[in-house]
Structure 1
C-alpha cells in the first residue's frame, strides 16, 4: 500500500500541513524540520507519487496553454505539437480558451491559471502592456506564438514574407486583378496575423505597380463557409479578379467550392492560392504557402521544458520558415474572361 501524507507526518512528528509545506519548498519551515520530513518521505517511499518529483520545488507538473479559438484546425495542430512534447516529459496540459473579447478581459482580470501551472504558452493573442505585465507577474516561464515580447520566449513565422510570396506568385503568372479573402481585421482584440498578411498583400501589389483596390478585399474570417461567401462577393463584382489570395487554406477551400458551384474552374477561370498547407490542400491540389504548424507547437513546448530545466538561457525567439507549394490551382492569367456565371445569389447557403 502506498504511504500517505498522514503516514509521513506521523513518521516525522509534524502536521500534514507542515509536510505539505516542506515538500513543496515553501517558507516558514525550518531546515531541520524540512530535512526530517524529506527523510521520512524517503523512508516510506512517498516519492513514488507521480507528482512527488515536483513537490519539493512547488511545481504542479502542468503547463497552461491560452488560445483564442479552440475549434480551428490551426490551433488543433499547434496543440498536438505541444502535447506530444509535454507528454514525453510527463507534464500535463491545461487548456484555457478565451473565445471572445469578453472572456479575454475576464481572463486577465482573474488570472485563473496563477499558481496552477509551471509554465504558460500563449497562442496568437494580442496582448496589451498591462496584460503582458500580468503574465510576467505569474512568476513562471512564458512563451508566445506569433509575437516578439521582451522577456518571453517565442515562435513565429514571417507572415508578411509568406503573404508577399503568395501575391508575388500570382503577379509572376501575369495576374493584375488580384483579390484577397482576409481574416478578421475588425476583431476588437486586433489580431496581428490578418493585419500583417493584408498589409503585405497591398504592399506587394504596390511594388509591382498595381494600385490596391479595396473592392477586391473580401472578409472571410477563418472558415470554409465564410471563404465561400467571400469568393461569391468577389465574383459578383463588375470586374472580378482573375486570381485570389485566401489568407488560410480553409477559406481557400470555400473559394474553390464557390467556383465549382458557379461552373468555373481553378486555374482556368480564376487562380486561387491559400496559406497553411492544410492536410486537405494536397487532396484538392491547392497551391499554398506552407508552414509547419505542429512543429511550432513542439518548439513552444521545448522552450518551456528548457526554462523549467533551469538551463539559465535567455528566452529565445525562433522564426520558422514558410515555403511556396505550387500545385494545380494557380496558372497564367487568361486573356479572355468567362462569358457566363451562375448568379451569386444561387450560392447562398440554405
Structure 2
C-alpha cells in the first residue's frame, strides 16, 4: 500500500497543508522545510494526485475557457497560448465553445457546468450579455477577458479603434479615397466587441479625412465571408480602390474575390487586414499584426495571479505593428 500525504507530514514533522504547499512550490514555506518535505516524499515514494490536491486545497487547478470558436485563427491561437501558460503552472484548461451567429441565436452561457470544476474563468472574444457576466460573477471565481471585454473588467486586448486608424492612415498615405470596410457579423452589437470598435475606428478615421462612410459590408470573420462580402461590395461600388478588412482571414477572402473578378492586387485594389496571420506572408497580405499567443499567455497568468491574491491591472493593451506587404499600393490614377 502506498504512502499518503499524512505519512509524509508525520515523517517530516509538519502539517499536511505544509506538505501540499511545499510540493506545489507555493510561498510561505521556508527553503529548509521545502527540501525536507521533498526528501521525505521522495523516500516514501509519495506523488500527489490531482484529486488529492483538490481535496486538500479546495482547488481544482483547472481554468475554464469560454470561446465562440476554436476553428478561427484568433481564437485558436489565444486558446493555445493560454493552455501552454496554464500547463507550465501545473493547471488544466476546460474548454467550452458557443456558436455565435451561425445557426440562429447562440445558447446562453450555462454557468452551472463550471461550478465546482474550475478555479477561474477566461472569456475569449465572446460577446456576453450583462446577465451572463453576472452569472459568471456568481460563481465566485476570478474572471478575465481576452480579445474583448467590459471596460470595468480585467481584460487583455489591443486598442481596436487605434488599429482601424492605423490601417486607414496607411491607405490614405497611398492616395486612396474610396476605402471600403469589411466588418464581422451584423448581429454583433456588443459595445465592447472587436468588430464594433474597429467599425467605430474606421468611421472616425474616414470622417476625419472627409470621406464617405457607407462603404461597409459584413464578412463574419472568416475567408468565405470575406469573399462573399467583397463580391457584394464591388457589385454595388465597383469604383472602390481599397478594402480594410477587420481580420486577415476576411482579407484573404477579399483577395480571392478580387482575383475572381479579374482585378489585380494591388494595382486595381489594395487590401489590408488585422491579426498577423501566418499565411499572410504567403499571400503577401499587408496587416496590422498582433501577438495573439502572447495575449493568451498573459490572460492565463493574470487569472492565476488573481487566484493567488495578487493585484492585477484592469486593462492590458498589447502593442500592434503595421506589416506592409504586396497587397497594398498606390491608388489607381
- Normalising by structure 1, we get a TM-score of 0.78
SS in 1 for 2:121: strand
Partner residue of 1:156? 157
Structure 2 distance, partners of 1:200, 1:188, is 15
Q: Distance in 1 between matches of 2:73 and 2:285?
A: 17
Find out whether 1:237 has 2:236 as its counterpart: yes
Alignment of 1:236-315 (within 5 A): 236-237=235-236, 239-310=238-309, 312-315=310-313
**Distance in structure 2 (CA, Å) of the matches to 1:317 and 1:193:** 15
**Unpaired runs of 5+ in structure 2?**
8-19, 21-40
> For residues 11-160 of structure 1, what are the structure 2 equivalents within 5 Å?
48-100=48-100, 105-108=107-110, 110-145=111-146, 146-150=148-152, 152-160=153-161
What are the Cα deviations for residues 237-276 of structure 1, in whole angstroms up to 9, with x where unaligned?
3542011111111111111111222222111111110110
Task: Return closer, same or farther for 1:238/1:299 CA change in 2, 3 Å cut-off.
Answer: closer
Shift of 1:52: 3.1
Partner Cα separation in structure 2 for residue 74 and residue 211 of structure 1: 30
CA distance in 1, matches of 2:205, 2:237: 24
Q: For residue 220 of structure 1, report the CA deviation from its aligned partner.
A: 1.0
TM-score normalised by L of structure 2: 0.82
Distance 1:303 1:234 in 2: 41
Q: Which residue number in structure 2 is paired with residue 322 of structure 1?
A: 320
Deviation at 1:227, TM superposition (A): 0.8
* Residues 315/162 of structure 1: CA separation in 2 closer, same or farther (3 Å cut): closer
User: CA–CA distance in 2 between the matches of 1:322 and 1:172?
Assistant: 19
Give the CA deviation at 1:4. 7.8
Give per-residue Cα distances to partners, 1:21-45, cap 9 Å, x unaligned. Answer: xx9xxxxxxxxxxxxxxxxxx9987
3-state SS in 2 of match to 1:125: coil
- Does the 8 Å CA contact 2:305/2:312 hold for their aligned counterparts? no
Is the CA contact (8 Å cut-off) linking 2:243 and 2:270 kept in structure 1? Answer: yes
Does the aligned pair in 2 maintain the 1:124–1:144 contact within 8 Å?
A: yes
For the structure 1 residues 106 and 219, does the alpha-carbon distance in structure 2 shift closer, same or farther, using more than 3 Å as the test? closer
The 1-side partners of 2:48 and 2:156 are apart by: 36
Q: What's the C-alpha RMSD, in Å, of the aligned pairs? A: 2.7
> Which is higher, the Rg of structure 1 or of structure 2?
1
CA distance in structure 2 between the aligned counterparts of 1:163 and 1:229, rounded to whole angstroms = 22
**For the residues of structure 2 that align with 1:235 and 1:194, how far apart are their CA atoms?**
21
Looking at structure 1, the residues matched to 265 and 282 of structure 2 have their Cα atoms a distance apart, in angstroms, of 14
Distance 1:265 1:218 in 2: 21
User: Match of 1:176?
Assistant: 177
Cα deviation digits, residues 92-131 of structure 1 (max 9, x gap): 11001122478855424x5310111011101122333332
Kept in 2, the 8 Å contact 1:62–1:119? The answer is yes
Query: What are the superposed Cα offsets for residues 210-243 of structure 1, whole Å, 9 maximum, x if unpaired?
Result: 132x2x2111111111111111122223542011
Gaps of 5+ in 1: 9-22, 24-41, 336-350
Q: Does the CA contact (< 8 Å) of 1:227 and 1:251 recur in 2? A: yes
Q: Count the aligned residue pairs.
A: 299
Shift of residue 3, structure 1, vs aligned partner: 5.3
